[in-house]
Each structure stands twice: as C-alpha cells, then as structure tokens.
A and B are shown apart, each in its own frame.
Chain A
Amino acid sequence: MGTLHLIRKNLGRKKLRTTFTLLSIAIAFVLFTLLSGINQAFNAGLELAGADRLITMHRMSFIQPIPISYHRRIEAMDGVEAVGHFTWFGAYFQNPRQQFSLQPTELSGLTDLYPEYQIPEDQWQRLMNNQTGLLVGQGLLDAYGWELGQQVPLNSTIFPKSDGSYAWPFQIEAVFTQESTANEIQAFMHWDYFNEARAFGQDQVGWIVTRIADPDQSAEIAARIDERFANSPTETKTSSEQGWTASFAAQFGNIGLIVQSILACVFFTLLLIAGNTMAQAIRERTGELAVMKTIGFPDSRIVAMVLGESVLLAVVGGLAGIGLGVLFVQGAAASLTQFLPGLAVTGSAVATGLVLAVLLGLLTGLVPAWQAGRLRVVEAMGRR
C-alpha cells in the first residue's frame, strides 16, 4: 500500500460528490479542447500565407469577377515574378452541402506561383496532356478516399456547362503535397476546360495572385497594381496574402475573444466548485488527519497528500475532458475539412490542457492543504 492507495480511497468515499466534480471538470476541458481546435484552424491559415504574394480582386467585392486581361498586364510590371488567376468554382462531390475549394487556373504556371507544391513528374505530364485532368491535394484525396487515375464526377453550384448541365467530369491525374495538410484541402482544374465549356462568364476570373521578388516591396507594388486599373470599369483592390488572410480571420477574432472570456469564466467557476469540494472533503477528515500526524506523518507529507488528491481529481477530469474534446474535434474536422481545414487539436494544446489541469488541482488543493498542514493534533483531537 502506498499513499496513493489512501488518496484513491479517500476520493471514493463520497462517490456522488466526486462524480459531479469530475463531470464539471471534464466539461470545462471539453470546452477548452474545442476552442483550441478552432483557434488552431484560424491561426493555421495565417501562418501558411506567404509574405511574397499579393492578391488582386474586384474593388467592390470578392465575388465580382475581373477581366482575364489584367493577368498579362500585371505580369508586365516591374518586380513581378509570377502571376496566376483563380476563380471560385463552387465544387462539390455528391453532397451539395459539402463544398470544397476547386479553382480553374492556368496549371502550367501554378508551381511558379506556389513553388512549395510538390508534384511527381510523371503525374505532371499526364495532367498536362489531359484537358479534364484534375490536380488534387493529398489531404483532399484522403478526405474523400479518392485514388490517382480515378474518374470523379463533380458538380458546380455556380457554373453550368453550355449544355445546361452542372455536372463536370474529371479524372484525377496528379496529386500535390505541401508542408501543411491544411493547404492540401483543395484542387485545381485546367482553365481552358472551364472557360470553354461554361455557359457564361467567359474570360472573367475571380482573383489574381502575384508573386513578387522582394516582400519588402509588397505595399508599393500593390499600390501600383491598383493605380494601373483605377478609373477603369473594373477597379481593383490588392493586398498581401497574409493581410488578406488576417483580415478574413479578424472577422472571427472577436468571436474567439468572446469564447475565451467564456472559458475564463467557466474555469473560475470550476475553481470555486472543485475548491469547495476539496475544502469540504478535508474538513470532514480533520480527525483522521490528526491521527496520521499523531502516528508521525510530518506536516509536509499531509500537505502533499491533500494536494495529490486534488491534482488527481483535476487530472482525471481533465484527461477525460480533453479526450472527449479531441474526439469531437476529429469528428467535426472530418465533416468541415472544406470550410475549416486545419481544424485539429495540436500536441501543444493537449500539453497546455494537462498543465492547466495540474494547475487547477494545485490551486483547488492549496487552501485545504495549507489548513491540513497547519492543523494542531492536540486541538483537533480536543474537538472530537
């Protein structure tokens, strides 16, 4: 028998009370885990954005198209290394409610723009030779369980073909990988296939991405691009990819703050609940603690025992909550890959959660442990 046996037995003496406390701790940690998952999803996008890429879109809004001719004009400007244009296709596979990012683009220039994309040479050749060939990110391929070479009938929520059908047949010819899975949750199709077959909107693109030679010049080049198209029927707004992602994420930033405040309140309440449980548990045991001291248990050992009990309670509750939270996030991530790629609980979030649980245990045990340590045997026995 060790002290641990005694600690476990003590936790088990008021089963209902311990269960309720464990539950409230677990629930708080489920919340914590969910929040860190969401936080991670937004931050992932920010970290991935390149500082050397600019995004040009319609000045009024993201959904209004700009003429493809802008592509060549930007290409001709000083300080520009590579240019590509993209359009939101609104693709889905079988389930219309699960849209994912599929963009028509001039595939031959894609790796000039995104040198971090890795594509095997033989696959690249086949992709170039097949008009209906599809370039798919490894993450997306895995999410749908597709295979290389497979025929996939996709649908567009926006673009019908000239025959009126929204169904677009494709064949997966190449798979790209990237440092982060979050950026692999997308696919690209041949611009020509798209532009020739669609029923409307010919020669209009969604946005243009420009890679520049010197990231320090990004503000200046962005201004020059917008100046170039000023006073034309289609004015533009250009910003760095990072700035764009940041402003996109900022819309959710306030929500993050609110959720974090809620979390802080929950943990504060938890501190009171668990702290009260511990204080009560120790008060009920004053006589027993006095006996242990009489037998010769030093005060430090009594303090450690009480702290051990509260830490064990918090860690067990915390582990259960984090475990449940991870399951939730994984479940949600599977069905949200298209909207929130990068929704995941990182190892560091789990570690933070564990540290939080230990801290919670120490904090809730602090006052009862201090009281138990200070307890004078003669007085405690006299009180009986």
Chain B
Amino acid sequence: MNEKTLDHIVELKGVTKTYHRGRERIEVLKQLDLEIETGEFAALMGPSGSGKTTLLNLIGGLDHPSAGEIHVSGQRIERLGSRALAKWRSNHIGFIFQFYNLMPVLTAQRNVELPLLLKKMSSKERRDRAMTALEIVGLTDRAKHLPRELSGGQEQRVAIARAIVSDPDLLLADEPTGDLDRDTAGDILELLQTLNTRHGKTILMVTHDPAAADRAGRIVHMDKGRLLEEAA
C-alpha cells in the first residue's frame, strides 16, 4: 500500500461506463478521473440522468466499469469477482439510500444488526454494537420498533446506524434527504456532518439540494457523464 492510496480513499482513473440497449450504446460515464481524500465530506451534484448513481455504484463495488481503474480503501476493485466484492463491501462501505430500505419484518435494532450477521461474533456483541450505533444516531428509545412505526426521518437514522455499525471507511449516500421535509433533512445532514467530523467517516453524498451540498466540505458537479470544475 503506497502513501497515495492512504490519503486518497477513492481514486478513479479514466473510468468509463457504457450500457448497451439493444444495438444502441449509451456512454453513461466518460473517462472520469476523481480523487477523494480520507476524511473528506464530498457532495456530488448534477441533473437527473447525469450518471451520479452509476458512479456511486462503481465506487461502492456494486457494478463493474467498462474501462478504467478504481481504487477504494487501498484496494483495486474493478476486477474483483462478485463474491470477493461482497466481502469487500461488508468490510469497507456503508450504503445509505433515498428510501431507507429497511427490512419491514425486523425491529430497528435487528435491522442495524443485519450487516453484523456477516461477522463472527456473539449475539450479545452484535446487540451491543447495534445499540451503540443507534445511540450515535440518537434512536436508542426506538430500538424495538418496527420500521412502519417510525417516521421517515427516524427510518433514515436507523438506515444510517445500519451503515456505520460495521465501522466502514467510506459512507456512500444516494440522495439521503430526497424523501424528507426540510427540517428533518437538516437533522439528517447534521448527523452526517457529525459522523464526518467526530467519527472520522469519509462521506460521498449525492444530492439535488444546494442547501444540502453546502454542508459538505467539497462539491463535485457532474453533467452528462463528465465531472465539471469543483467549487469549494
């Protein structure tokens, strides 16, 4: 592991992603270069269909690029097989979605425990860790509630607790406030900021909302599969 990969938790070189729809070729990402430093809170903005989700999926090891190199957390991931990628994701990445995606049949606490099923540990340790994560997001009093008994903001907090419970290096959030009202969105963004500053999580967040992007330390703009100039 060289020094470069240590301070750059994400490094993309000439990443291209092409979809084929019948005979048609759609180039969604075009020769992308991107570096994100360890400890950064970066926002990714751009019009709908510009390729933000696709980029996030590539960084999170959910999809393979058509060309280019992807280094994340000191690992070159673009050629890993699906099994290796799954294991790698469980160790390094926490995902946060727009629609929370909690398991409706599990309580908040058990939802948070879900990623820990992939680790060798006692059920007590899992429970303790889940409670710690719920404490960080401020929801210990809702541990036994089912998702449908929670508000949207609370559901997203549980989802964030689930994303951080395995202590990943990088949080990838795809429009995490897209489905929330302004006040609740503010709370969630504050929580993400806290995770960044106090818990040292590197965060890459896709958002439409300029106010949300302002919370981040860095804004990356994207249009038609290309990265534009970055504003501070």
Residues of A near any B CB (own CB < 8 A): 1-3, 5-6, 9-10, 12-13, 287-288, 291-300, 377-378, 381, 384
Contacts and interface: CB of A to CB of B under 8 A. Distances in A.
Contact of B126 (A1, A292, A293, A300): A1
Given A1-B126, A298-B86, A292 B62 contact: no
Contacts of A291: 97, 101, 103
Interface residues of B, number: 29
A294 B53 CA distance: 14
A378 B90 CA distance: 17
Given A294-B62, A294-B89, A378-B63, A299 B83 contact: yes
Given A291-B101, A295-B115, A9 B106 contact: yes
B87 interface: yes
Contacts of A294: 60, 62, 89, 95
24 contacts: A1-B110, A1-B113, A1-B117, A6-B105, A6-B106, A9-B106, A288-B104, A291-B97, A291-B101, A291-B103, A293-B86, A294-B60, A294-B89, A296-B86, A296-B88, A296-B89, A296-B118, A297-B86, A297-B90, A298-B86, A377-B62, A378-B57, A381-B97, A384-B99
Contacts of A292: 114
A296 B115 contact: yes
B75 interface: no
Most buried by A among B83, B117, B126: B117
Contacts of B87: 296, 298
A230 B110 CA distance: 87
Nearest to B105: A9
Contact of B105 (A12, A293, A297, A377): A12
A296 B57 CA distance: 13
B194 interface: no
Given A288-B101, A294-B95, A295-B114, 19 more contacts: A1-B113, A1-B126, A3-B117, A6-B103, A6-B106, A9-B103, A9-B106, A13-B105, A291-B103, A293-B86, A295-B89, A295-B90, A295-B115, A296-B87, A299-B82, A299-B83, A300-B83, A378-B57, A378-B62
A294 B163 CA distance: 11
B101 A297 contact: no
A13 B104 contact: yes
A3 to B, nearest CB: 6
A298 B83 contact: yes
Interface string B78-121: 00001100111111000101010101111000100111011000
Contacts of A293: 86
A287 to B, nearest CB: 6
Contacts of B97: 291, 381
A1 B110 CA distance: 7
A14 to B, nearest CB: 11
A296 B90 contact: yes
B110 A5 contact: yes
